[in-house]
Structure 1
């Protein structure tokens, strides 16, 4: 039986996605502040990829399991997806509060593992949450709204780093093994937002109850012996992979190169500016934050504008061209020696980031079964973390032995991978939907 979902207003979709703000603020800190903290605590540059292995490993394990579990969860009081992103937000909030107090490198690395567990618990069911609530004609608007909050969350994270470094870091002297005081404040804000924004969405957005058939299946699982209940999510993941639509295999090929390249960018922006601009670690970290600030402003501005573009020209074309633009940005950044001019390529990067954070989820959500959306969103996110896992294991030696330990070469390497990702994206075959264009465009124009 096909579930008929009510059409939601613009502000209902907005409130549903507010929780993504806190999750992405946390990811923004990971992109910009975690690696400088590792450097402050004495980590060598070629160790940065392996120190970041927590993200890929926890994403690979946590996201598909939580997705499968949330598909088979229902509480009349708490819902289906909400219990998982509430627990994840609490873990993330506590980790962010503790992170700047790290006394040694390995303490910070351990906290990163806990933080990534929390973030992955919160984010995976959130992707499915939007697909659960929205009719197919509003999926594009729903996921691009998430893209907007991706930009907003990372924007706030990096804006806070730039602001606090400007206000409190100008006269500070870097000490080996010590995290600057000005970095503390950004983490404390993140600890608050991580929980507060999730609570906003939880109380503002009720979940759609399962159908009678789904509820009976959930109750059958509850009646199983404990050992079978524990194994159930793993069996569901294996079954879902075996039956996975061919489109998802193709998007996995795009993701392999896209996310490998993104992880290089995030890890080596600070070392790059130490080399190309002659900055100290603090100055380079602040410049990296300005770069992230710029592209996430662009992401916020263009996220919803991409909805009518994808409907007119197709998600595949808009997505692929955005990856080409991101490649161009990475090719030119290493050759700009002015700290203001180097922000200009971030316009292309921001358009690419807006597309990456919305369009693939819209395309996948249209082709997967409603009652397995959680596990398939988890598998889609596995396709993000597997490239990251490969990158953390492989790029350290590549950087050291083949790229000469040179951050400029690392950025160019990432640009080449984006070109490959764009070529593969052009080869995707989209799922078509009837009468979607008028509904979505009017939804944006009327609000």
Structure 2
């Protein structure tokens, strides 16, 4: 029979063992959970800053439509100067930079792209570009910021390369989920776009990070969908199928051509413009800003900014004055891209798709406009990125249009496959390759790829 003293010793050993394992779990997973919550908070801060930057620009624009002739060139030039001077790791759109750190050859670049300094610079310079009226979004940069926060704050917890990759994937996924309020799209994005060789062991880290970041963003900003809720009465499944072939072909071809152009411009600009960008990057960015300002003034101010509000107007059935929005927004997106200023094209591409969807809806006047516009959005996005799963999931979640999941899926798959005939590599993967192999850019990669 055990004595009372031996029972006490066994009970104390169990308690110490429980305490030891509890401390071990907290030491290992605490930074992972804390960084996920921080990503959610940073995404809310980024979203609020983007909205305030956009409103600030238009308050100035309302005083005089000619102010952008000064503000946009100065803002883009200042952004490029600050990037070269203080934040070299903040260059580019964010997604290619996060992808490249997942590659074995890109692990040496993690200290450059995934540092807290790079994350801070990416946020500040992206907001500077948005406040200048350029066609930038924060949703691409938040992928790099999320990956940087997760990697930098949790780097002491991983023991091997696989765990390091898991942290980067989880940070990028959490950033997308919190930025768009689309948890499913965040997971799909991590698997399809960032982790093309996905490690199943990363799933727990990604799920925990997406859930915590998403809940944090919802607690701060509410549970509203990104572009509002599409009317269920307008999302007629039968009618939508008629528009699938047209939207998929036109959106896929235009998206594929856009990706081809962006990749070629990442390698080299035509003629003397390439040497000009290399020798005078600040002046070149200012010149791009001047052209963006002229287009914005000519369009009545519709092409300035991220495109979020214009896309929302189109989906809400208020397309007045936006008949040429899709093509004009595409031009300003390309100009913002080649300027070299940090900023993303993830959300602006959805705005371009909404404008093109509006044009497709005009070709099919016998159909409700909303489903055609949604199909145009997913077609252009899937054609440009060649990420069909992310495309239809993110549009479905952003507009609460789950009743259209089959037409959205079909459109995304057709558009992405058509894009394969126009561009050899997906956009973000191609930009990541230019970072890894800058010699292929002859002689250097463009700012959008750096």
When normalised by structure 1's length, the TM-score is 0.32
More helix as a share of residues: 1
When normalised by structure 2's length, the TM-score is 0.31
